[in-house]
Chain A
């Protein structure tokens, strides 16, 4: 049975570093995914991830509701990614980014198709506002429900639906 985030957060506050390691293992891919897709910086996503976890540890005592650690971590990742985006003055266009190949384990034509497919997805994400990009990533890559996304973005569910619809419409226009 998986230990709940709330217990792990309390354990970290009590001095358990292992508990924080467990939290990192649990959310490292989520944080990395959001960091890469929101910032559009696929090379430095791991650096952003590391920074996010360090800041999370330092600010853990400011987390009012330990049960909502994931939403809190995602918001922190989003803000860190936005900061990274601002720092990258010379790389505003997603099209110019170096996207991950992501075809390890595939072979031949399927690997090529998969790579093209991923590249198109990342290019489409690049046309969105960072906050809208976060909503799309949470919805399609993290499998979050509308309600969870609303909790993370701290807005209502209709607003999230609207964001998703407008994001898809914008990407459809650019496709």
Chain B
């Protein structure tokens, strides 16, 4: 029997894919394969089992089911659905998408005006003329910079203003604040700066009194000026008195003595004026200075202080 490779009977039987078609056409005896095919087509397998035996089998299965029911009338077991087709997965996915979107949005839209690791004092390399770094600079250096992430950002930027400049740069203007807790030597520049700030700060009386208490250990031009301001302008008499007591030791400083004179003229508290007078007279002033002092008191009509001056003169 001749075999036409272009017309294999197996093609019609199995509709072979193109890759297999050539191999099938090489089949030398497709008739044998077709004969088996025909044999199986004619193989009417009889019902080898009687219906009664199937009935028995089913009865055994149903008996077992009745003894160990898995699906109760009330306890409906839902079909096992692939997890990503379940409603809770959709809700979770939506919530996750929303969260990620918000996170990305906040990152993109609420970025600070400057990188979080940027510190103007440090990055600009600002140093004082004497070569020392400012207290703020040291404070910044004391922190571990740069911050690793936004959540641990130690600074709070406020009043941010951004404006482009003509030379393709950006002008940044902002306030920066942070909270720092540390222990430093009493003569540390940062301590001095904090003392000055505390004296200028009106919020806490205790802080101002403590700052004055510490000021004699770290007296500096800045602290002296802060004490002078506190002595003349602080709203609390106790602060003014204590600042005066601290400055009394520097009466030879013309700036201090002039400030004491100003207290004599202007301070509303008699106690302040009397103390100022005592400190001035106790510093062994020149007669010309005493005369100028008496003149001032007469002009002001300050009888209690004139009597105190006379007492000092008698001594």
Contacts and interface: CB of A to CB of B under 8 A. Distances in A.
B73 A15 contact: yes
Contacts of A15: 69, 71-76
A124 B118 CA distance: 83
Given A28-B57, A50-B57, A141 B79 contact: no
A25 interface: yes
Contacts of A63: 79-80
B145 interface: no
Contacts of B311: none
Interface string B27-59: 101001101110111110111110001100110
Contacts of B65: 17, 20, 54, 57
B136 interface: no
Interface in B64-88: 64-66, 69-82
Contacts of A117: 39, 42-43
Given A61-B79, A140-B41, A172-B33, A104 B16 contact: no
B48 A164 contact: no
A32 B49 contact: yes
Given A15-B71, A161-B16, A172-B33, A57 B61 contact: yes
Contacts of B76: 13-15
Contacts, number: 140
Contacts of B79: 10, 13, 61, 63-64, 66
A100 B71 contact: no
Interface in A117-150: 117-118, 120-121, 124, 136, 139-141
Interface stretch (A41-49, A73-81, A84-92): A41-49
Contact of A36 (B13, B35, B48, B60): B48
B46 A102 contact: yes
A139 B37 CA distance: 10
Contact of B61 (A54, A105, A136): A54
B30 to A, nearest CB: 9
Interface residues of B, number: 49
B98 interface: no
Nearest to B66: A17
Given A46-B57, A172-B35, A118 B45 contact: yes
A140 to B, nearest CB: 4
Contacts of A110: none
Contacts of B35: 172, 175
Interface string A14-51: 11010011001100110011001000001001100110
A66 B78 CA distance: 11
A64 B84 CA distance: 12
Contacts of A57: 61, 65, 70
B35 to A, nearest CB: 7
A162 B43 contact: no
Contacts of A25: 54, 58
Contact of A175 (B13, B24, B32): B32
A53 B61 contact: yes
A169 interface: yes
A71 interface: no
Interface in B96-145: none
A82 interface: no
B120 to A, nearest CB: 62
B79 to A, nearest CB: 6
25 contacts: A12-B71, A13-B76, A13-B78, A15-B73, A17-B62, A24-B61, A32-B49, A45-B48, A46-B49, A46-B57, A49-B57, A50-B60, A54-B65, A60-B70, A61-B80, A63-B80, A64-B79, A102-B45, A141-B45, A161-B16, A165-B13, A165-B24, A168-B33, A168-B40, A169-B33
Interface of A: 10, 12-15, 17, 20-21, 24-25, 28-29, 32-33, 36, 42, 45-46, 49-50, 53-54, 57-58, 60-64, 66, 100-105, 114, 117-118, 120-121, 124, 136, 139-141, 158, 161-162, 164-165, 168-169, 171-173, 175
The 3 closest A-B pairs by CB, nearest first: A102-B46, A100-B48, A172-B32
Interface of B: 10, 13-17, 20, 24, 27, 29, 32-33, 35-37, 39-43, 45-49, 53-54, 57-58, 60-62, 64-66, 69-82
